Amino acid sequence: MNAIEDTRHWLEAAVIGLNLCPFAKGVHGQGRIRWVESAAREPSALLAELVHELQHLAAADPQGLETTLLVHPLVLGDFLDFNDFLDVADAALAGLGLEGTLQIASFHPHYRFADTEGDDITNHTNRSPHPTLHLLRESSIERALESAPDAADIVERNIRTLRRLGLAGWQALLER
């Protein structure tokens, strides 16, 4: 398996399968996700790719391309380094004048929310098979939130889902 196949399986089995993001199913089913596997081995090379992908998404017709998953398996494997890079990524977004137009969500195999233990199952809502930057359109997020009457409950629902599933259930879900 390659990083894109691993990440696509995670998206289908966990994100869509558990309904962790109720907006992912439609976009995925319509083929409006751009999947990019980075060969970057240094943060500077990843930053250059990120800038390119932000520009690409901003210029693309939303009817054909809604979002981009930039999977980077060879760089920022350490979560703290990845987390620090998010400041660089947000600065690039601002430098391109795309704040308010696009945003960057983050997923990592060792994702850890502040104030949680490393083994807390709730961290798995943002744990992907490989470090991944998810580039999203702000307008799409706004439309999705307006169309979902229970959008404010998504985080709490995901926490309950993962606690019911448990680590063994999570691992079984991702097995192929």
pLDDT band at 7 (very low <50, low <70, confident <90, very high): very high
CA distance readout (Å), 106 to 90, 150, 175: 11, 23, 22
Model pLDDT, residue 145: 74
Q: How confident is the model over 11-30, as pLDDT tens digits? A: 999 999 999 998 899 999 99
Cβ(59)–Cβ(34) below 8 Å:
no
pLDDT tier at 149 (50, 70, 90 boundaries)? Answer: low
Tell which wins on pLDDT, 153 or 176.
153
Task: Give the mean pLDDT of 55-79.
Answer: 97
DSSP string, 92-157: HHHHTT-BTTEEEEEE-TT---TTS-TT-GGGGGG--SS-EEEEEEHHHHHHHHHH-TTGGGHHHH
Cα separation, 128 vs 131, in Å, equals: 7
Strand order in the sheet with 33-37: 33-37, 67-71, 132-137, 102-107
pLDDT band at 1 (very low <50, low <70, confident <90, very high): low
End-to-end CA distance of the chain: 11
The greatest distance separating any two alpha carbons of the chain, rounded to the nearest whole angstrom, comes to 43
Closest among 174, 171, 170 to 161, alpha carbons compared: 170
Asked whether the predicted pLDDT for residue 150 surpasses 80, the reply is: no
Q: Are 33 and 71 in contact (CB under 8 A)?
A: no
Residue 146 pLDDT more than 90?
A: no
